[in-house]
């Protein structure tokens, strides 16, 4: 065995050393690999729309129907200055008309996000949080996100709201509210 | 699938969920993740490395290696969008070790596989399994030869970057290599961000200077260089057949083929000996200077960290978005400050250590270059610099003659 | 030769592809760069326009058009860019392929090698030269980066643990307690003044104006806006205001309306998040014979003397609370009670009025609330009643010990309680309407049917407890058992809490109509009605038969009855 061979074995051992980390106990929350937004930390700054390396951001608004109040005046759909229940441009919060409002039963309306139009600006989220239940929130879509090792939006996020999630829990939901007795 | 729940921001919802008579809540259209593609990547990487080793050492064919590059570009570059790639994995691993968190086996394998192969077969990874290398390989036109001394000095930049990026990864500043990866916009075919300019610059430079990223930027290359120095299989120029036609030296645009030195005069030997003794004597000074350099770099590095920046903004009274977002959290300023100060101290220590290491690397390079080459009469290939591109096979007339005879 | 021709064609194609890519790339980049700014500008413009009152049809049409324009521009630009990039990608692949083809089919074109071969010695010397140059470059780069990235103080200054980043006044003389205040005497002295939110702790004995036919005696603008009500002591009127960056207490002469002084609070540690309705100074100040106390939404508690000199300043922990902090402090003898029910943590602070130090603080497990504490005296001992989401509690004034706690509240508690004869009355929509026994906290009665107010605190009058809603409905319930007696619908709602003065109820609605009510057992008599014409959300103050109002547009108006 030459010195080279010995050295070679030594370095092979060195490379395999990190594998010892595999035997460490896996944490419960599990540091995953895929990027996701923690809705409670998000401050709806609007950077999700502009910072993604893709031309159309992989962040989209998501509606948790279980938490929605189905209100006539949805503060995420309508903006607060003008309260007329039509689809005129000046009444809407969403800049790209990505929320579809449909009548369900009296006095409830369903609000659905049109994913093709949503640009991830977060304006509806802000409105929903201010005067509503907070059932609208931004999430990174798994089918669009390219899973960069260093997410550009994560780096730019002022609230440090990006976390890495494991493959089996790719979305972080808001807990549905308890109904008052 | 149980969705991961997070805490509600206020105690109760303002508007209680309605009880519907005839309406059922629609499903949230959140698709589950199909598969963890990191392990697929590892599998394909293994296949490619095997194919590359075969093409380089057995087939000895430039054409095969070109195909290898093209395939690597298509698969790892465009289909997998090059993220995560082995080049950046050292950051993930550094962070994982520093945080004590679980490192995925896929990540470990991605990092270790090219290095293990380098230990036995040289830098086959760089030949075509690395999409960054492949794109530089294919988009190289007219070679501008970089003078060897300049080349050797520029090759120290990757070492510096490796140390800086490792420090950044350990302390949670981020993954600068992934943030600044020059070819990612090309792989994603999305030039929305200003980083596309970086892409364009590297591609343009790459047309004339061979493999600018691989040679002068890639931090992973430092590790590959180190491991491939001891490789079992090396590209070798056999002394019996070489006729010193010098065509391979020109054919290799990466400066891996070193010309012979000749016997050398006595005065040359003496000056060489003096040079080496001077350099050896300078080692402690270099280490000290490196440590000092690292020490002074520390504040610069720590200013890139989110927490430190936040504390600085708070102290200066700047009301940035980050400050306002911070104030809506439950962390107190004291906690933030303690964290930032602890980070700063850590970065100071790590930066100084990294500086010392860099000093050592610089001296090692200078001393290694000051030594006389082993082969006095024929050309040699430095296995740590050879990217296994196979241009030398195409250039060498004896190689072509051999092939012709085989046919 | 055939090979040469192919080679030349390949070369030509490569050149074309390269030029095409370069031109297209440059055009695309330029287009992307150029289009970013106008789209952002249009977005901002639209947002600004939407903030205005869109009742004007022309304005709303403009907004509509602009919105459509922005939307179509946005998606069209994105589509155009995507198509451009796709084309670029294809051209790029073609170029790759062409290069690959050339390399694949043709041997490399090798020229005669340069020079005479290796010159290792020269190279080695050059290497050392380059190494030195490299070191110089590194050092210069480091120096430049240090100058640009690292601020003057190299690291965040290592400060003591208690530093919250606020500026302390190093030459501030620490006040010392040199006297004691007798609670009973202090409470009695308050009754003839108007020193706190909704008057005084014990029933106020100020006189009403002679008639309800008012004229403006004086009108003074208040520089910094705030929703805290004005308070009066002797001939001085005090108001607090803040714009988020600076908070200040202003003092006006009650007879002439002249501004006597305005003292600013130390710069706030941070600007809290509030809604426009709340503002940064929604807490009404308290004033006693010697000092005036103001609380701001940033958690600053400021104490000044009647000449405007700052006596002490206390920074309470970061008030993170939805809508913004709005609870008014309660002055009881030598303690200033601050109900600090935030989103995450709920504490009642009692500050020593002389020194500003915390005499006691009691934490409770409630939720965010905006109600102000109510002081009362039971068996000669001072007590503090606090209402919050979930809990209604009574604390001992001296020690802060919780005497009893009733879990009966809910929703968003913003109104404050009234107390009389050992009973505590409270009404808030979504929470609780009823009365407690002050000694042990038992609920005497509760009325869950009558719609309760959500902002204005209800008022006691004789045998009645009147609830003034923000929709304009006034409901009278029996103070003994809580059953609804009658209700009255007025035009506008009340945000300002009604008060009992001189045997009548005085209230001002959101439109600025000042009412004088005499509630009977069967109906509400409107004895006086005066239209100020300006929106008012603050409680009026009384001074020598004049009424002092603070309007929403931040002006202090004193009304006197016409002779």
DSSP state letters, A69-95 = ---SS-TTTB-TT----S--GGGBS-T
Q: In what order do the strands lie in the sheet with C286-287?
A: C286-287, C291-295, C300-305, C310-315
Average pLDDT over every residue of B320-335: 80
Residue C270's pLDDT band (cuts 50, 70, 90): low
Q: Give the list of residues 6+ apart from residue C502 with CB closer than 8 angstroms, or none.
A: C206, C207, C208
B191–C32 CB contact, under 8 Å? yes
ipTM: 0.78
Interface test with B, best of A137, A149, A162, A164 (most B CBs within 10 A): A149
C482: left (phi over 0), alpha (psi -120 to 50) or beta: left
Please write down the long-range contacts of A63-66, taking CB distance under 8 Å and 24 or more positions apart: A63/A111, A63/A112, A63/A113, A63/A135, A63/A136, A63/B28, A64/A135, A64/A136, A64/A137, A64/A173, A64/A174, A64/A176, A64/B28, A65/A110, A65/A135, A65/B25, A65/B26, A65/B28, A66/A135, A66/A176, A66/B17, A66/B25
Is a pLDDT exceeding 90 seen at residue C42? no
pLDDT confidence of residue A138 = 94
CA distances from B317 to B332, C270, C281, C299 (A): 16, 9, 21, 17
B101 and B172 belong to one structural domain: yes
* Residue A50 vs residues A128, B193, B286: alpha-carbon distances, Å: 21, 9, 45
Q: Summarize pLDDT for C179-230 with one digit per residue, the tens.
A: 778 888 888 888 888 998 888 888 888 888 888 888 888 888 888 888 889 9
- Measured between CB atoms, which of C127, C133, C317 is closest to B152? C127
Q: Which residue has the tokens 């030296």?
A: B249
| Together in a domain, B190 and B279 | no
Rounded to 5°, angle at Cα C215 from C214 and C218: 130
Residue C40 has pLDDT above 80, yes or no: no
On whether the CB atoms of residues C386 and C348 are closer than 8 A, the answer is yes
**Is the predicted pLDDT of residue B294 greater than 70, yes or no?**
yes
In this model, does residue C103 exceed pLDDT 60? yes
Q: CA neighbours within 13 Å on the CB side: how many for C207?
A: 8
pLDDT tens digits along A22-55: 555 444 334 567 889 999 888 888 889 888 888 7
Cβ of C164: how many Cβ atoms within 10 Å? 17
Which string of DSSP letters, residue by residue, matches C508-560?
E-TT-EEEEEEE-SSSEEEEEEEE--S---SPPEEETTEEEEE-TTSEEEEEE
Q: What pLDDT, on the 0 to 100 scale, is given for residue A22? A: 57
Q: Is A150 on the interface with C (CB under 8 A)?
A: no
Given a cut of 50, whether residue B212 has pLDDT beyond it is yes
Distance from CA of B109 to the nearest CA of C (A): 30
Positive or negative: CA dihedral A118, A121, A125, A126: negative
Domain count, chain B: 2
Distance CA C367, CA C345 (A): 8
pLDDT value at B398 more than 70 = yes
Of A55, A90, A119, which is closest to C50 when you measure between CB atoms? A90
Radius of gyration of chain A (CA): 22
- Structural domain contains residue B5: no
Mean pLDDT of chain C: 82
Q: With the C-alpha atoms ordered C212, C213, C215, C216, is the resulting torsion angle positive or negative?
A: positive
Evaluate whether residue B29 is within a structural domain. Answer: no
The DSSP symbol for C424 reads: E
Domain containing B212: what range?
38-235
Band of residue C2 on the pLDDT scale cut at 50, 70, 90: confident
Most B CBs within 10 Å, among A55, A126, A148, A155, to test the B interface: A148
Q: Among residues A37, A49, A18, which one has the least CA distance to residue A118? A: A49
Give per-residue pLDDT as tens, B243-263.
878 888 878 888 888 888 777
Nearest CA in chain B to C119: B261
| pLDDT at residue B35, rounded to an integer | 58
Residue that has been written with the tokens 């109040």 in this structure: A69
Listed by start position, the domains of chain C span 2-105
Tokens linked to B310: 């936040």
Residues C388 and C381: beta-carbon distance below 8 Å:
no
pLDDT band at B114 (very low <50, low <70, confident <90, very high): very high
B93 and B226 assigned to the same domain:
yes
Residues 6 or more apart from B156 whose CB is under 8 A from it?
A: B361, B362, B365, C134
Beta-carbon separation of A11 and B119 below 8 A: yes
User: Nearest by CB to C165, which of B246, B330, B333?
Assistant: B333
Q: Between residues C268 and A35, which one has the greater pLDDT? A: A35
Cα B193 to Cα A50: distance, rounded to the nearest angstrom? 9
Q: Which two tokens stand for residue B359?
A: 């000093």
Q: Nearest by CB to C142, from B200, B260, B297: name it.
A: B297
Nearest CA to CA, how far is A59 from chain B (Å)?
13
- In the predicted model, is pLDDT for residue C56 greater than 70? yes
Q: Which pLDDT tens digit goes with each residue over C284-307?
A: 999 988 889 999 888 888 888 888
Q: Are residues B160 and B305 in the same domain?
A: no
pLDDT category, C146, cuts 50, 70, 90?
A: confident
Cα separations in angstroms, B64 against B59, B139, C103: 8, 17, 11
B203, B291: one domain: no
Please answer yes or no on whether B174 and A110 come within 8 Å at the CB atom.
no
Helix, strand, coil tally for chain B in percent (to 5): 65, 0, 35
Phi, psi of A55 (to 5 degrees): -65, -40
Taking CB atoms and an 8 Å limit, are B296 and C146 in contact across chains? yes
Q: Is the pLDDT of residue B5 over 70?
A: no
Mean pLDDT score of chain B, rounded to an integer? 84
Q: Are both B215 and B315 inside the same structural domain?
A: no
Biggest distance spanned by C-alpha atoms of chain B: 102
CA B222 to CA B243: how far, in whole Å? 32
Lowest mean pLDDT among B173-177, B275-279, B395-399: B395-399
Residues of A in contact with B85 (CB under 8 A): 149
Name the neighbours of A, counting chains with at least 3 Cβ pairs within 8 A: B, C
Identify from B102, B198, B231, B304 which residue to disrupt to test chain A contact, counting A C-beta atoms within 10 A and taking the largest count: B102
Average model confidence (pLDDT) across chain A: 81
The minimal CB distance from B6 to the residues A52, A147, A174 is found for A174
Q: B8: which chain A residues are within 8 Å (Cβ-Cβ)?
A: 40, 134, 174-175, 177
The answer to whether C83 contacts chain A (CB < 8 Å) is no
CB-based burial, B237-262: b 16+ in 10 Å, e otherwise: beeeebeeebbbbbbbbbbbbbbbbe
Question: Which are the contacts of A109, defined by CB distance < 8 A and separation ≥ 6?
Answer: A70, A71, A72, A74, A101, A102, A103
CB neighbourhood size of C295 (10 A): 32
- Domain end, chosen from B208, B235, B262, is at B235
- B344 vs B334: CA distance, rounded Å: 15
pLDDT at B218: 94
How close, in Å, is residue C60 to chain A by CA atoms?
A: 6
Name the residue in chain C with its Cα closest to that of B70: C100
- The helix/strand count (H/E) of chain A reads as 4, 7
Q: Give me the sign of the Cα torsion angle C317, C323, C329, C330.
A: negative
Closest residue to C165, CB basis, from B297, B314, B369: B314
User: What's the CA dihedral at C532, C537, C538, C542 to 10 degrees?
Assistant: 30
Compute the distance between CA of residue B327 and CA of residue B339 in angstroms, rounded to an integer.
Answer: 16
Which residue, among C509, C462, C510, has the nearest Cα to C485 in the 3D structure? C462
Residue C152 banded pLDDT, cuts 50, 70, 90: low
Does residue B57 lie within any of the structural domains?
A: yes
Phi and psi angles of residue B241, each rounded to the nearest 5 degrees, phi first: -95, -25
DSSP state of C235: T
Tell if the CB–CB gap between A177 and B232 is shorter than 8 Å: no
DSSP one-letter code for A67:
G
Q: Do C51 and A81 touch (CB under 8 A)?
A: yes
Q: Is the pLDDT of residue C112 over 60?
A: yes
Q: What is the mean pLDDT of residues C141-158?
A: 68
Angstrom distance (rounded) from CA C418 to CA C206: 18
C104 vs B63, B186, B191: nearest CB: B63
The helix-helix angle for B266-302 and C120-149 (nearest 10°) equals 10
Residue C158 confidence (pLDDT):
37
What pLDDT score does B170 carry? Answer: 92
pLDDT at position B345 over 80: yes
- How far apart are alpha carbons B4 and B26 in whole angstroms? 19
What is the pLDDT at residue B10? 39
Question: Are C151 and B330 within 8 A, CB to CB?
Answer: no
For residues C203 and C191, is the Cβ–Cβ distance under 8 A?
yes
- Is the pLDDT at A148 greater than 90? The verdict is no
Test C50 with A81 for CB contact under 8 angstroms: yes
Calpha distance C144→A121 (Å, rounded): 37
Interatomic CA distance for residues C256 and A91, integer angstroms: 46
Strands across the sheet containing C247-253: C231-233, C236-242, C247-253, C259-264
CB C444 within 8 A of CB C436: yes
Mean of the pLDDT values across residues B371-397?
Answer: 84
Nearest 10 degrees: Cα torsion C268, C273, C275, C276? 40
CB contact under 8 Å between B105 and A22, yes or no, is yes
Looking at the predicted structure, is the pLDDT value of residue B297 above 70?
yes
* Strand order, beta sheet including C214-221: C214-221, C555-561, C546-550, C541-543
């Amino acid at each position: 065995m030459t010195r080279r061979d010995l050295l070679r074995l030594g370095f092979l051992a060195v490379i395999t050393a990190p594998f010892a980390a595999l035997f460490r106990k896996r944490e419960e929350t599990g540091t995953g690999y895929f990027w996701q937004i923690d809705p409670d930390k998000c401050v709806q700054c609007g950077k999700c729309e502009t910072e993604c390396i893709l031309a159309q951001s992989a962040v989209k608004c998501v509606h948790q129907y279980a938490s929605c109040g189905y209100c006539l005046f949805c503060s995420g759909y309508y903006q607060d200055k003008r309260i007329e229940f039509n689809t005129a441009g000046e009444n809407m919060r969403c800049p790209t008309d990505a929320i579809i409002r449909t009548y369900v039963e009296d006095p409830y309306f369903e609000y659905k996000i049109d994913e093709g139009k949503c640009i991830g600006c977060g304006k509806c989220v802000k409105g929903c949080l201010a005067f509503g239940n907070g059932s609208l929130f931004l999430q990174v879509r798994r089918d669009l996100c390219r899973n960069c090792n260093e997410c550009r939006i994560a780096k730019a996020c002022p609230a440090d709201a990006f976390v890495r999630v494991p493959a089996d829990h790719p979305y972080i939901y808001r807990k549905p509210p308890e109904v008052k007795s | 699938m149980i969705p991961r729940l997070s805490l509600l921001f206020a105690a109760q919802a303002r508007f209680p969920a309605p009880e519907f008579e005839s309406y059922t809540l629609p499903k949230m259209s959140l698709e589950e993740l199909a598969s963890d593609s990191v392990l697929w990547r590892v599998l394909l990487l293994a296949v490619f490395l095997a194919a590359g080793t075969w093409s380089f050492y057995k087939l000895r064919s430039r054409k095969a290696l070109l195909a290898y590059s093209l395939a690597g570009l298509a698969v790892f570059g465009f289909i997998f969008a090059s993220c995560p790639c082995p080049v950046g994995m050292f950051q993930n691993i550094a962070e994982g070790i520093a945080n004590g968190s679980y490192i995925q086996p896929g990540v470990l394998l991605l990092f270790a596989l090219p290095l293990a192969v380098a230990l036995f077969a040289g830098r086959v990874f760089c030949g075509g399994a690395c999409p960054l290398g492949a794109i530089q390989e294919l988009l190289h036109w007219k070679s501008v030869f970089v003078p060897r001394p300049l080349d050797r000095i520029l090759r120290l930049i990757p070492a510096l970057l490796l140390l800086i990026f490792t420090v950044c990864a350990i302390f949670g500043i981020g993954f600068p290599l992934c943030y600044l990866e020059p070819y990612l916009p090309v792989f994603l075919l999305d030039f929305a961000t200003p980083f596309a300019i970086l892409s364009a610059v590297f591609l343009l430079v790459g047309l004339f200077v061979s493999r600018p990223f691989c040679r002068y930027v890639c931090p992973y290359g430092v590790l590959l260089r180190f491991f491939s120095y001891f490789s079992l299989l090396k590209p070798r120029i056999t002394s019996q057949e070489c006729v010193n036609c010098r065509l391979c030296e020109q054919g290799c645009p990466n400066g891996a083929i070193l010309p012979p030195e000749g016997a050398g005069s006595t005065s040359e030997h003496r000056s060489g000996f003096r040079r080496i003794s001077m350099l050896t004597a300078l080692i402690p000074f270099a280490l000290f200077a490196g440590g000092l350099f690292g020490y002074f770099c520390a504040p610069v590095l720590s200013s890139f960290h989110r927490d430190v920046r936040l504390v600085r903004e708070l102290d200066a009274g700047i009301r940035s978005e980050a400050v306002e977002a911070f104030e809506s959290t439950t962390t107190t300023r004291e906690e933030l400050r303690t964290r930032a100060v602890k980070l700063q101290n850590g970065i100071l220590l790590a930066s100084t250590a990294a500086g010392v290491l860099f000093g050592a690397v610089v001296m090692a390079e200078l001393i290694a270059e000051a030594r006389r080459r082993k082969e006095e009469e024929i050309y040699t290939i430095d296995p740590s610099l050879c990217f296994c591109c196979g241009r030398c096979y195409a250039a060498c007339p004896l190689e072509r003659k051999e092939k012709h005879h085989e046919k | 030769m055939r090979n040469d021709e192919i080679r030349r064609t390949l070369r030509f194609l490569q050149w074309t592809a390269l030029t095409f890519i370069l031109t297209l790339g440059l055009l695309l980049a330029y287009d992307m760069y150029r289009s970013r700014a106008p789209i952002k500008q249009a977005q901002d413009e639209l947002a600004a326009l939407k903030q205005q009152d869109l009742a004007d049809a022309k304005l709303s049409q403009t907004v509509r058009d602009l919105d459509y324009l922005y939307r179509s521009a946005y998606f069209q630009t994105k589509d155009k860019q995507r198509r451009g990039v796709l084309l670029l990608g294809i051209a790029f692949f073609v170029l790759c392929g062409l290069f690959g083809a050339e390399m694949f089919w043709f041997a490399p074109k090798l020229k005669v090698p340069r020079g005479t071969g290796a010159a290792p010695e020269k190279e080695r010397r050059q290497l050392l030269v380059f190494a030195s140059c490299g070191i110089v470059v590194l050092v210069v780069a480091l120096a430049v980066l240090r100058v640009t990235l690292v601020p003057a103080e190299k690291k965040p200054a290592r400060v003591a643990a208690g530093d919250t980043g606020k500026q302390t006044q190093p030459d501030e003389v620490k006040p010392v307690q040199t006297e004691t205040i007798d609670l009973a005497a202090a409470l009695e002295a308050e009754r003839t003044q108007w020193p706190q939110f909704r008057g005084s702790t014990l029933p106020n004995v100020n006189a009403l104006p002679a008639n309800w036919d008012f004229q403006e005696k004086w009108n003074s603008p208040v520089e910094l806006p705030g929703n805290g009500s004005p308070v009066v002591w002797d001939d001085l009127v005090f108001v607090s205001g803040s714009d988020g960056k600076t908070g200040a207490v202003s003092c006006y002469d009650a007879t002439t309306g002249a501004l006597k002084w305005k003292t600013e609070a130390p710069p706030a540690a941070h600007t809290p998040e509030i809604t426009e309705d709340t503002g940064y100074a929604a807490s009404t100040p308290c004033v006693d014979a010697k000092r005036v106390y103001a609380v701001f939404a940033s958690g600053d508690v400021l104490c000044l003397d009647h000449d405007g000199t700052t006596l002490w300043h206390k920074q309470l922990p970061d008030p993170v609370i939805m809508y913004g902090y709005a609870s008014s402090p309660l002055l009881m003898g030598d303690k200033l009670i601050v109900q600090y029910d935030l989103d995450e943590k709920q504490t009642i602070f009692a500050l020593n009025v002389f020194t500003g130090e915390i005499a006691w603080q009691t934490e409770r497990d409630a939720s965010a609330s905006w109600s102000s504490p109510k002081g009362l005296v039971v068996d000669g001992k001072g007590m503090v009643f606090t209402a919050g989401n979930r809990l209604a509690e009574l604390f001992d004034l001296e020690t802060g010990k919780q005497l009893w706690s009733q879990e009966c509240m809910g929703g968003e508690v913003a109104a404050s309680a009234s107390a009389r004869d050992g009973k505590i009355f409270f009404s808030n929509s979504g929470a609780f309407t009823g009365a407690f026994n002050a000694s042990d906290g038992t609920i005497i009665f509760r009325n869950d049917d009558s719609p309760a107010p959500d902002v204005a605190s209800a008022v006691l009058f004789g045998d009645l407890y009147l609830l003034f809603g923000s929709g304009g409905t006034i409901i009278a319930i029996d103070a003994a058992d809580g059953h609804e007696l009658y209700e009255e619908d007025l035009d506008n709602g009340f945000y300002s809490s009604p008060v009992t003065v001189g045997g009548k109820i005085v209230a001002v609605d959101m439109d600025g109509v000042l009412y004088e009510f005499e509630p009977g057992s069967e109906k509400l008599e409107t004895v006086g009605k005066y239209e100020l014409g300006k929106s008012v959300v603050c409680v009026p103050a009384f001074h020598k038969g004049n009424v002092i109002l603070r309007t929403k547009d931040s002006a202090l108006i004193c009304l006197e009855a016409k002779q």
